[in-house]
Amino acid sequence: MKVYYDLKKFNAVNPVVTIGTFDGVHLGHRKIIARLKEIASEMQGESVIFTFFPHPRQVVTPEEHNLRLINTLPEKIELLRQSGIDHLIVFPFTLEFSKLSYQEFVKQVLIDQIRTSCLVVGYDHKFGQNRKGDYEYLANCAEKYHFKIERLGALLVDEINVSSTRIREALENGNILTANKYLGYHYELHGRVVEGEKIGRKIGYPTANIEASEVTKLIPGYGVYAVKIRFAGKIYLGMLNIGSRPTFNQNADARSIEVNIFDFNGIIYREEVTLIFHDKIRDERKFPNKEALMEQLGRDRAIARKILGDQ
């Protein structure tokens, strides 16, 4: 897959194009991608995904500070690479670009620069200034500029449309199983180990405190989770607590992320790690004393091992 951060050197044979933010690269996105590749093969062309960075909402409504994304840009690029497309355009989204009308976008970008042969869109696709460009407008443009267009229906899972919004809601509610089902893979969070208060070590459950790699990365809701931890080329099992620690916290929504790695006693401060979410064990709660907490942590660990297949 070739990756472009502008269109100066872009070149493709009979480009078959789809457009979107592709946050999550979930099952709905993969349906579009599969059809995109199929059409490209039929037309003896090449598949192209046109996405944006930063996210349009960060530019159009910068006063909003609650945007949380399923993927960081590196995560999204890697997922799209795995999907097997030929070209990925990560176009710089600016305020000036946001003011382009749908007619200007089609003519200046899709036709003059990309030379689109076919455009593949989702069932609810809208684009251009104030999102006024819908399928009917695109169909008129396709006739005018002589390119093909195809619209795909929504992918249904349990009769619910798969969308990035629904996945974000599931993650925020701690519903990891639903989020993972819609994503088609286990949700991941990348970050760096930072110094903590070492309270867990004193009660026999040492934890690594994680600072997410990007402040807009969505951190699941409060609670205790069964996770796998990837670092230094190895996979470990563990349990993770997401809570609130507003002081000196760079994570989104001031959430603390503390992971207890099973069968591991090393010091990993400043290491880069990836947390792989499998399921939620329970909600976060306060305990009357240290002994009650330790008893619950023992139960949590047993449940986590069972979830993770380490019985």
pLDDT for 97 beyond 70: yes
268-310: pLDDT as tens digits: 888 999 999 999 999 988 888 888 888 999 999 999 999 999 6
pTM score above 0.85 = yes
CA distance 298 to 12: 57
14-69: pLDDT as tens digits: 999 999 899 999 998 998 999 999 999 999 999 999 999 998 888 888 777 788 99
In order of their start, the domains of the chain are 2-161 (3.40.50.620), 187-307 (2.40.30.30)
Taking the C-alpha atoms of 193, 196, 201 and 206 in order, what is their torsion angle to the nearest 10 degrees? -30
CA distance 236 to 238: 7
175-194: pLDDT as tens digits: 999 999 999 999 999 999 98
pLDDT for 100 beyond 80: yes
- Contact between 106 and 137 under an 8 Å Cβ cutoff? The reply is no
Using a 10 angstrom Cβ sphere, with 0-12 exposed, 13-18 middle and 19 or more buried, the burial of residue 192 is: middle
Question: Strands 87-92 and 46-53, how do they pair?
Answer: parallel
- Contact between 168 and 68 under an 8 Å Cβ cutoff? The reply is yes
